[in-house]
Structure 1
Amino acid sequence: MSLLKASFFKGFAVYLGSSVINKAIPFLLLPILTKYLSPEEYGILALYQVMISFVMPFIGMNMQNNITRNFFSKSKEFLAKVIFNLVVVLTTTTVVVTLILSIYLLLGGNHFSIPTRWIYALPIMAYMGALNDFNLSILRNSKKPLFYGAFEISKTIIDLSITILLIVVYSFSWEGRAIGMLISTVIIGGLSVFRMWKNGYLLIEIDKSQINEILRISLPLIPHALGGVIMAVGDRIIIDQMVGTAEMGIYTVGYQFGMIMTLVTTAFNQTWTPWMYELLAQNKLENKIKIVKATYITCISFILIALLITTISYFLLPYMTTKEYHGAFVYVIWVALGYAFFGMYTLVFPYGVHVGKTSYLGIITFSAAAINILANLVLIKLNGPVGSAQATLISYIFMFVSVWWYSNKLFPMPWFKFIKK
């Protein structure tokens, strides 16, 4: 038991370290971006990042879940066939999305001040990013956190270096940041394919039954993922339209400080998910009780960490940004708490995937997205831009509670039984 715990926390420590380094880009770049970009330019960059997030669910469809789902119960040969067919589906979705974007642009669709060339770059980034996700899923489930960290950190170094060079030295404005994201994603995506091939995780064999199974699991996750994107980035579009691009740029700075919370929740989830699936596969009551206890402890920890992040941000933000961005602090606590509840949601999300029933996730997430939009419209009018951050918290609380409740209907867990003991 002690060896299992040591392995769990060792993995968590490595994932946390790589997550901190990988997701430190927004904070390492804040002093540079706020110095060299005006709030309006920063707002345009934020809008482009919103577009990337919006396209990814349609291309990637969270297909990496098919790897985790089969990793502990199927042979490596079977898994290699699954991964190749994942690439086939991924390539198809990328072509379809590219065609849709082309038609949209030909019909004169709104660019939101984004040049056409960067609209066409969206599917490329989503495609290569999904390939990287496949590789990272293999590494995570293989319990190889050091290799996982190497891929994540390498991407960060490439991204950071190119961004600083282009913005500071060559005055590329916000496009310097976009170029850094594009090049780093393409390089790491290519290396991911090479590693999967070299290690026997790509077996070229088109299997219609596997493709159908992939689509059965992943298609219902599109509205689920899209709803998540709307909650994560829709607020910035609404602020841009209701308040202005400059205020949206300031809001994005505060949002990034609040999103420090995701460093913890993402890193924890990288260790939690394979650990949880492995225990669930054994179908023992003592394992279920172990998961329940760990869930409660983790939820409380997430809230405490969110409050700590808010306190630290109060002192840190003035030193990392110029004066015109200092008002961003007011958004931090709402965003940090919102992502604490999103972290709680990731703890209960796997139950539906475990039993192969994911359609309900789309309904719940889309409902949460609708609540988010309505709350944004109401609270921004009542409280100003901070109402958008408050709407984020409300929608994530709803999503966590709803998924927790319905997951328990699909796969009952002893949420209160251990208390009696």
Structure 2
Amino acid sequence: MTREPAFSLKRILPRLVPTLKHGMGQLLMQSIAMALPLLLLPVLTRYMPPEEYGRLALYTLVLSLMIPLMLAGAEHLLTYSYFKRDEAGKRRLIVSSFALAGALSLTIVLLAAVFMPFLQAQLELGPTVILSMGVVAGLTCIFTLAQVVAFMERSLALQSVFITGRVVLAYVLGVSLLALGIMDWRAMVAGQFFAAVVLAAVGLIYLQRKGLLGWHGSLRDVVEIPRVGGLMALFSLSGILVALVDRLMINHFIGAHGVGIYAVPAALMTGVMLLILAMTRAVSPQAIKIMSEGGDVALRRKVIYIYSAFWGIAVLAFGVAAVVGQPALRLLTDGAYHEASVLIVPLAVAMLFNTCFVWNATLLMFERRGGVLVVIALLGALTDAALGSVLIPAYGLVGAGWANAGAYALMAILGFGALLIYVQLPWRMTLTEARRIMLGLMLVRGVR
């Protein structure tokens, strides 16, 4: 009787194949959510000059920074422990997460009110817009946790509501107000507020029907959230911090006009990255189960191999994006934004390395190495600031793009090193990852 090899596909495919339908649904929803903002670029760039588009970009980044800060890692803890808790345990965790997010939301709004002059000077946004961020972020926390539950339960219908509904509601209202001349760029802020209110209500109804709402939280869970998920929350914050530092450096040296020009190709390349990451989610629910079980090293490594296949797609996708990005940008945007075409190649390289880093971070998360990720991301932000302070005054927006690429390249290399130390990758996986990083570095060298 022959013994089945530890890496036999027969052992793992039956556990992963049932998730393919769910994964394809995920890919479709993410594609729709990303396609709508890109398809509306002609409208947005027609009715918003680069300066206003730059303010919207800064608003969006700061809002993205506030959401993980308010969640404090609750979504990561819920994802990690979902299959380990009974219904009562899940309910206590969600109620405790709401309490913690509410307290942090109130604290952030109060701090924003106290430091309003400083924030207005740095962001060039009005006080009403700045304070609205705290409210929108708090509402977003509600449906984010509901979205995690829907994801783990493989509820495609609810996920479609949260993923695509947020974009559709925000953009339909925002663009309508903008095109009708009722509001300026703040119409998009109004759209995001409206979407957050509607989806928070949907999220509460969904959690109530699942029996996951109640009045009794747990002090232990309140402490557990930042203790277990806090490092991943800090990682999320520091990851967004790299992009925020990038935009603030441009705002400092060039102004809001430069931020607006830069934001358009950045949105295109980020869309490519998110599409690739959406594909990796095709096996995520089952992979989370496998990775969280521990013990079976062969299965854990097989999951790594399956995810690894997506990087061939990543290299191809960003290569194509670098080629067709310039004509696509000219087609989708108003003439005032056409100068941004020179940023396509450096930002394609930057997002390729960023995709590589996010993949490394996903594996490190399961080894509870959030502290390492925080250090890597903070080093990336510091590198972006250092390179930007030299390259932006010398080369303008192109310098900002290459500074961003340099920061993400460093993060990808450091993330790969962390995998070698903490995850104990098979030697074939090690060589494959090394080839990808070298390919990215060669691409940087080749396009200069």
TM-score (norm 2): 0.86
Letter in 2 for 1:262: M
Could you tell me how far apart the structure 1 residues matched to 2:402 and 2:277 are?
A: 22
- 1:248 paired with 2:259, answer yes
- 1:342 paired with 2:354, answer yes
SS of match in other structure, 2:20 = helix
Q: Give the direction of change, closer, same or farther, for the CA distance of 1:407–1:81 in structure 2 (3 Å limit).
A: farther
Q: Match for residue 221 of structure 2? A: 210
Letter in 2 for 1:251: Y
Q: Match for residue 80 of structure 2? A: 69
- 1:360 paired with 2:372, answer yes
* Residue from 324, 337, 342 that aligns with 1:312: 324
Letter in 2 for 1:10: K
Q: Does structure 1 conserve the Cα–Cα contact (< 8 Å) formed by 2:120 and 2:126?
A: no
Q: Does structure 1 conserve the Cα–Cα contact (< 8 Å) formed by 2:232 and 2:365?
A: no
Q: Match for residue 31 of structure 1? A: 42
Could you tell me how far apart the structure 1 residues matched to 2:430 and 2:404 are?
A: 33
- 1:139 paired with 2:150, answer yes
SS of match in other structure, 1:205 = coil
Aligned-pair CA distance for 1:219: 3.1
* Residue from 51, 54, 71 that aligns with 1:60: 71
SS of match in other structure, 1:114 = coil
Q: Give the direction of change, closer, same or farther, for the CA distance of 1:108–1:156 in structure 2 (3 Å limit).
A: closer
Identity score, percent:
18
Q: Does structure 1 conserve the Cα–Cα contact (< 8 Å) formed by 2:287 and 2:303?
A: yes
Q: Does structure 2 conserve the Cα–Cα contact (< 8 Å) formed by 1:334 and 1:390?
A: yes
SS of match in other structure, 2:311 = helix
* Residue from 183, 186, 189 that aligns with 1:175: 186
Q: Could you list the per-position Cα deviations for residues 94-113 of structure 1 after superposition, in whole angstroms to 9, with x for gaps in the alignment?
A: 11111111111277852633
* Residue from 398, 410, 418 that aligns with 1:386: 398
* Residue from 44, 64, 68 that aligns with 2:55: 44
Letter in 2 for 1:303: V
Q: Could you list the per-position Cα deviations for residues 89-129 of structure 1 after superposition, in whole angstroms to 9, with x for gaps in the alignment?
A: 11111111111111112778526331111111011111111
Q: Give the direction of change, closer, same or farther, for the CA distance of 1:212–1:256 in structure 2 (3 Å limit).
A: same
Alignment of 1:86-101 (within 5 A): 86-101=97-112
Q: Does structure 2 conserve the Cα–Cα contact (< 8 Å) formed by 1:273 and 1:350?
A: no
TM-score (norm 1): 0.92
Letter in 1 for 2:83: F
* Residue from 116, 127, 131 that aligns with 2:138: 127
Letter in 1 for 2:383: I
Could you tell me how far apart the structure 2 residues matched to 1:98 and 1:272 are?
A: 38
Q: Does structure 1 conserve the Cα–Cα contact (< 8 Å) formed by 2:146 and 2:207?
A: yes
Q: Match for residue 224 of structure 1? A: 235
Could you tell me how far apart the structure 2 residues matched to 1:203 and 1:405 are?
A: 44
- 1:401 paired with 2:413, answer yes
* Residue from 157, 175, 184 that aligns with 2:195: 184
Could you tell me how far apart the structure 2 residues matched to 1:186 and 1:409 are?
A: 44
* Residue from 24, 45, 58 that aligns with 1:13: 24
Aligned-pair CA distance for 1:5: 4.7
Q: Which ranges of structure 2 fall in alignment gaps of 5 or more residues? A: 1-9, 432-448
Q: CA RMSD in A?
A: 2.4
Q: Give the direction of change, closer, same or farther, for the CA distance of 1:241–1:272 in structure 2 (3 Å limit).
A: farther
Letter in 2 for 1:31: P
Q: Match for residue 163 of structure 1? A: 174
Could you tell me how far apart the structure 2 residues matched to 1:55 and 1:389 are?
A: 24
Aligned-pair CA distance for 1:62: 3.6
- 1:197 paired with 2:208, answer yes
SS of match in other structure, 1:260 = helix
Could you tell me how far apart the structure 1 residues matched to 2:304 and 2:368 are?
A: 21
Q: Could you list the per-position Cα deviations for residues 346-366 of structure 1 after superposition, in whole angstroms to 9, with x for gaps in the alignment?
A: 323244443444222222211
